[in-house]
Amino acid sequence: MAASNSIFTISPSGNVARISLNQSLSPPLSLPLNRSSSVALRPKPRSSSLVLCSTDESKITAEKEIPIELRYEAFPTVMDINQIREILPHRFPFLLVDRVIEYTPGVSAVAIKNVTINDNFFPGHFPERPIMPGVLMVEAMAQVGGIVMLQPEVGGSKSNFFFAGIDKVRFRKPVIAGDTLVMRMTLVKMQKRFGIAKMEGKAYVGNTVVCEGEFLMAMGKEE
């Protein structure tokens, strides 16, 4: 039987094709496989973005599973309002410190004032845009300073104290209803002989400084 000069191929679609052996092979069959073509045949690595997306989704899911009362940290209580009232002579509507959250005897105190729409100064300041008056922010900070300077650790007595001066006061941002004013007062110098204290203070809402300044206060004498 004579050798055939043709071969038959069957395509994936089922069609039969005849190829003559006398014809030159198609160029793709004679091309050598180079490195670039072999790399192209390798499977593509998985996209890392899919992994990150999955991680973010799992993080969000985990946060949703945390109870709301445990999701946000509460301010600690070093002195509550009753202890504050035992130190400061101020009373409603002029007691502007709600809680002491940090206290270093004879050095500093950090306290908070919860600013609410029910504060009695908001109806007049201002009716359409409730903003805490800057002078009351300074007063609240001075009361925090009073908690430090009226304590026995600095030779203070639980009596009245008064402003002797304020310097370099700056108001950086308005404080509105709903904010929590966090105030830090640090004792810089205490002249026990004259009953004069110099203090530095900063007030924050979140991570933003809203007020800062230097304070001079004089202690009153016990009657």
Q: Per-residue pLDDT for 24 more than 50?
A: no
Q: Compute the half-sphere exposure of residue 198: CA atoms within 13 Å on the CB side of its CA.
A: 6
pLDDT single digits (tens) 106-144: 899 999 999 999 999 999 999 899 999 999 999 999 999
CB 129 within 8 A of CB 190: no
> Rounded mean pLDDT of 179-192?
93
Flag whether 51 is in a domain: no
pLDDT single digits (tens) 2-17: 455 555 555 555 565 5
pLDDT single digits (tens) 49-63: 444 455 566 666 666
Flag whether 167 is in a domain: yes
Q: Compute the half-sphere exposure of residue 120: CA atoms within 13 Å on the CB side of its CA.
A: 5
What one-character-per-residue DSSP string does 183-204 give? EEEEEEEEETTTTEEEEEEEEE
In this prediction, residue 44 carries a pLDDT of: 55
Flag whether 67 is in a domain: no
CB 181 within 8 A of CB 132: yes
Q: Which residues pair with 196 in a beta bridge?
A: 191, 218
Flag whether 35 is in a domain: no
**Spatial distance between the Cα atoms of 144 and 122, rounded to a whole number of angstroms:** 22
Distant-in-sequence, close-in-space partners of 8: CB < 8 Å, separation ≥ 6: 16, 17, 18, 19
Give the domain range for residue 173: 74-219
Flag whether 215 is in a domain: yes
pTM, rounded to two decimals = 0.68
Measured from the Cβ of residue 54, the count of other Cβ atoms closer than 10 Å reads 10
Measured from the Cβ of residue 127, the count of other Cβ atoms closer than 10 Å reads 8
In this prediction, residue 35 carries a pLDDT of: 47
**Spatial distance between the Cα atoms of 17 and 174, rounded to a whole number of angstroms:** 84
196 pLDDT band (50/70/90 cuts)? confident
In the chain, % of residues over pLDDT 90: 47
Positions marked catalytic:
125
Q: Per-residue pLDDT for 41 more than 50?
A: no
Sign of CA dihedral 10, 14, 18, 24: negative
Flag whether 58 is in a domain: no
Specify the range with the lowest mean pLDDT, choosing from 51-65, 73-87, 144-158, 184-198: 51-65
Flag whether 40 is in a domain: no
CATH of the domain at 195: 3.10.129.10
Number of structural domains (the chain) is: 1
Query: Both tokens of residue 112?
Result: 């908070």
Flag whether 182 is in a domain: yes
> What's the mean pLDDT when you consider all of the chain?
79
Q: Per-residue pLDDT for 21 more than 70?
A: no
